[in-house]
Amino acid sequence: MKYCKKCLQPDTRPNILFDEHGVCYACLYEESKASIDWDARFNELLNIAKNAKAEAKKRGNIYECVIGVSGGKDSTFQAVYAKEKLGLRPLFINCVPDEITQIGQHNIDNLNKLGFDIKELIDGIDGVSEDDMYFYSMPDLDEMKQKGIRAIFLQYYAKEWSQVLNADFSIARGIKGRMDDDLHDIGRFTALDSDLQIANQMIKYLKFGFGFATDEACYDIREGRLGREDALWYVNEYDGLCGEKYIKIACDYLGISKDEFFRVVDGFVNKDLFYKDENGKWKPKFKVGQDFNIN
């Protein structure tokens, strides 16, 4: 297990790449931002928006673009950006997660209040069929080209995009966060619309040696809010945790007992990275931020 020399990203993250100096590609991208001509990118985006408007008018469409939204900070930022900065009339598509949280529902309703139209495509799934997976699969590229549909990634064009800016921006426009939670129960304050993700991130930690708090700390390092030492403290304090309340929510959702839940989780723990202590708790063999030899 090797860590990025700049942030705390370990090479156990599937598909991660490091350069020859041991720096991850997310850090390299962040560094490359200083030399990007953002005005040129923004003008490129304005042109795309202009074409979208012209195309919608020609086809008699009410909407000029489609944005996938959860109602959280990033989608609220995208929504308002599309409307206010690009002058677009967007339609939002929201796939309602199973067991949507009250906060998640509030944030989706908030987008409605901000004057946007939302289509809810899936409202809970009983059993999973191929049809249910339809919205998780990419459309055919040739078909998209034929119909003149263009997908864009806003972060590429918007210089101001960051975790903290998107959050402040969206809170100012009415979204709610996990204000009532203890960070020791949830690891980090994002992923608002589903409580199931908290147990999911704990399992990710036990499989790969990093969870929600590492992801957050890496953003903080790259965007200059935390030094590596402070980020280390944060990860050691909060990573891999999931409060009893959220274990229960996951067990109730799955219809299994807590014992059964942990029996299954135990089977997937990476035993090269973790050992069970005398109290039956999984403990890391590695130290966060220090390369670790897996034998």
**Residue 95 bridge partners (DSSP):** 122
Verify binding: residue 178, Zn ion, rule CB under 5 A. Answer: no
Piece in contact with Zn ion (CB under 5 A), picked from 8-16, 120-128, 146-154, 233-241: 8-16
Verify binding: residue 9, Zn ion, rule CB under 5 A. Answer: yes
Q: Which of 1, 4, 49, 231: binder of Zn ion (CB under 5 A)?
A: 4
Nearer to Zn ion, 74 or 215 (CB): 215
Q: Smallest distance, Å, CB 25 to Zn ion?
A: 8
- Dihedral sign of CA atoms 13, 195, 81, 141 in order: positive
Piece in contact with Zn ion (CB under 5 A), picked from 22-30, 108-116, 244-252, 283-291: 22-30
Verify binding: residue 247, Zn ion, rule CB under 5 A. Answer: no
Q: Smallest distance, Å, CB 4 to Zn ion?
A: 3
Q: Which of 1, 3, 10, 27: binder of Zn ion (CB under 5 A)?
A: 27
Query: How many residues in the shown chain lie near Zn ion by CB under 5 A?
Result: 6
Piece in contact with Zn ion (CB under 5 A), picked from 16-24, 180-188, 190-198, 259-267: 16-24
Q: Which of 1, 24, 217, 273: binder of Zn ion (CB under 5 A)?
A: 24
Verify binding: residue 241, Zn ion, rule CB under 5 A. Answer: no
The tokens of 76 are what?
């609220």
The tokens of 227 are what?
């030094």
Q: Smallest distance, Å, CB 203 to Zn ion?
A: 23
- Dihedral sign of CA atoms 256, 262, 267, 273 in order: positive
Verify binding: residue 176, Zn ion, rule CB under 5 A. Answer: no
Verify binding: residue 6, Zn ion, rule CB under 5 A. Answer: yes
Piece in contact with Zn ion (CB under 5 A), picked from 1-9, 30-38, 74-82, 278-286: 1-9
Q: Smallest distance, Å, CB 164 to Zn ion?
A: 18
Rule CB under 5 A: which of 45-104 touch Zn ion?
none
Verify binding: residue 235, Zn ion, rule CB under 5 A. Answer: no
Distances (CA, A) of 180 to 28, 157, 189: 36, 34, 10
> Binding residues for Zn ion, per CB under 5 A?
4, 6-7, 9, 24, 27
